Amino acid sequence: ARANAMRHSSRTNAARRVTNDARHSSTLARAMTREDRAERGGASSGDRATRRDATTAQRLTFLAMAPVFALSFQLSIFASTDGARVDRRARRSPGFEWGKFMTRSVANARFKLAPGSGTLAREKRRTVWLCNHRAWSDFFLDIYLTEGRAFTMSRMLVAYAFPLFMVPAMVCGVVFGFKRDAGDKEKLNAALDAHFDAFGGEFAGMVCYPEGTRNVRENSMPLKRGMLRYAHSRKMAVQCVCTARKERVFSSHLTCAERGLALPVYFAEVIHAEDYPDFEDFYNEIRSRWDNAWSAANGVSAAEAESLPDYTPREHVVRCTPRHDAVIVSSALLTVLGVALTWRACSKLL
């Protein structure tokens, strides 16, 4: 009888998932139809430009920003004035410094609150911030948007492409590297728990990209369940944060970059896992708020974004640790070595 009951429960849950996925696909189809109508009705030229090939100026800007991005963690340390603080118990977090340097100094991007948006969740509990993945710029934009309170998940493949950036970021805990095809989900979950514990409360949560891949289309993709199950099992808070036009800031996929953009952002209401004993109810609530956040952020035109209120992330301070000191010293040595090698190469050419 118990076996029959378990089989019946499994079939019921499977049927619910199919129904929910069908409902979600229908919602996205309706949203896409509304977007198509809006586009035909006169989308701004700035919005249409994101779907065309990059201009020569955007490609040149990308080529100029690429080496800066590769050395961005080291450069953010030297660009910071935080070293003047005597109190080591209240230093700006490395993630905040890096995100601010790339967002404000390099990209000169500005966040604008979309209509109806809330603010960043700053609860004294572990939080998962679900962000939309558009381009390379996501890494620094979303870390700065979450005020350096979160670390971000990244495939280990990125470490091979940008070792000078990834190694110090991983040492400081700003980036959690993982292998996509690792297989054992419980090992990944245990590694995330260990990452939280290893940094002694420095991070209040993590940035996660629930679509599972980069998506530059105008409609959202279905959300992956893996990290949402992790959040549900750990009774974490979840907040959906969607930002429009991030792919125009710095994108390897489009081979373009642009400075001075106004980026509409929408913070959804926080969802608490303990309020949803059943995972499917938890998942459906997240998906509903994700769709609302996506539509609200991407429904703002470039012209409208300029008139929206500014959103400036707050400074997040943490206790300075030996890990931070090691990154500062190694960054200084690498910078000196890089300058010396460049000088030597230029001298031989001349």
pLDDT at 109 over 90: yes
**Which pLDDT band, with edges at 50, 70 and 90, does 48 fall under?**
very low
Q: Could you tell me the CA-to-CA distances from 68 to 147, 165, 211, 335 in Å, in that order?
A: 21, 10, 28, 13
**The pairing of beta strand 150-155 with beta strand 237-243:** unpaired
Q: Which residue has the higher pLDDT, 156 or 134?
A: 134
By the 10 Å C-beta count (0-12 exposed, 13-18 middle, 19+ buried), 224 is classed as middle
Under the banding of pLDDT at 50, 70 and 90, the label for residue 4 is low
- pLDDT in the model for residue 293: 95
Predicted local distance difference test score (pLDDT) of residue 17: 52
The label of the residue with tokens 């599972």 reads: 212
Question: What angle is formed at CA 150 by the lines to CA 94 and CA 177, rounded to 5 degrees?
Answer: 85
Bigger pLDDT: 290 vs 167:
290
pTM: 0.78
- What DSSP string runs through 233-270? HTT-EEEEEEETTGGGTEETTTTEE-SS-EEEEEEPPP
Percentage of the chain beyond pLDDT 90 is 44
